[in-house]
Structure 1
Amino acid sequence: MELIESHLIDKSICPVARTAQVLSGKWTILIIRDLATGVKRFNQLERSLQGISPKTLSERLRSLEEEGIISRRTFAEAPPRVEYSLTEKGYDLVPVIDSMRNYGKKWLCDDK
């Protein structure tokens, strides 16, 4: 019962705060950035996100899937193949990430 009440409260808070809550996990924004270019497998994401542990990547992917931001597709093969992609809800975050990229280029990165 507590989880249900907490979930309802989450949906009633400020939209900016709720979005920040969804994106605040370490690596989350970078996972969305990588999936914005297309379907990826776990090992592709792991290679792209140097320094992320497999456990953390699994947790972030599961969390994003629960939020409806990514979809997970499993193929019945040996060994099993799993692919991740953004949902419509996930693609709606791409302009947010693009804005962050533009801000970082303008204000935070050296022009070398």
Structure 2
Amino acid sequence: MVYLVNHLSCQGETITVSVKMETKRKSLPMAKENCNFEGYDVISLMSETSKLRKIITKRGTLEILIPLCCTTKPVRYKQFKQSLKGISSKTLTTRLKELEKNGVLERLAYNEIPPRVEYKLTSKGQDLVESIIDLLQWMKKWSRK
């Protein structure tokens, strides 16, 4: 994925996120020798990369994760829906379920009328978001101006 534009604004309870991506497929040559990561070889790292890609590169996933880094409070479904323009309810619901299944988000459902559902990052999710922020900072530093 190549990020063309990204914007993150966190002010109090208001969160605005805008990320525009473009996919450019490239075939990378596979190295035959071991790499410098202790305890890993290239094949293992490529497998882990594939798992990571399945989690974060689906449409809407980054837009869901990034606002959660701005707060320690759970975020309600309605807040996601209002702040994530251009993402359908079906896509949002699917991504939230996938992130919960992968242990990135915790879903908190309350037995109330009207129903109230909130989401918060797990410790696994917090680590992932911190890594994504590092990647976004790297991109900002090295992208063409």
Normalising to structure 2: TM-score of the pair? Answer: 0.62
Aligned ranges 1:76-95 → 2 under 5 Å:
76-95=111-130
Q: Which runs of 4+ in 1 moved over 3 A?
A: 107-110
How far apart are 1:91 and its partner, in Å?
Answer: 0.6
Higher relative contact order (CA 8 A, sep 6+): 1
Match of 2:132 in 1: 97
Match of 1:5 in 2: none
Structure richer in strand, relative to its length = 2
Q: Deviation per CA, 1:39-79: give whole Å up to 9, x if none.
A: 11111111221111111000000111111110110111110
Match of 2:81 in 1: 46
Q: Distance in 1 between matches of 2:107 and 2:113?
A: 17
Report sequence identity in percent: 38
> Is there any run of 5+ residues in structure 1 with no aligned partner, and where?
1-12
Structure richer in helix, relative to its length = 1
Paired residue type of 1:46:
K
Q: Deviation per CA, 1:71-103: give whole Å up to 9, x if none.
A: 110111110110000111101102221122213
Secondary structure at the aligned position of 1:20 is classed as helix
Aligned ranges 1:26-45 → 2 under 5 Å:
26-38=59-71, 39-45=74-80
Q: Distance in 1 between matches of 2:134 and 2:99?
A: 20
Summarize the Cα distance change of 1:57–1:97 in structure 2 as closer, same or farther, 3 Å threshold.
same
- Report which of the two structures shows the higher radius of gyration computed on alpha carbons: 2
* Aligned residue pairs, count: 100
Match of 2:90 in 1: 55
> Is there any run of 5+ residues in structure 2 with no aligned partner, and where?
1-45
Q: Deviation per CA, 1:11-47: give whole Å up to 9, x if none.
A: xx62122111211211112211112223111111112
Secondary structure at the aligned position of 2:63 is classed as helix
Q: Distance in 2 between matches of 1:94 and 1:29?
A: 9
Match of 1:23 in 2: 56
- Root mean square deviation, CA, Å: 2.1
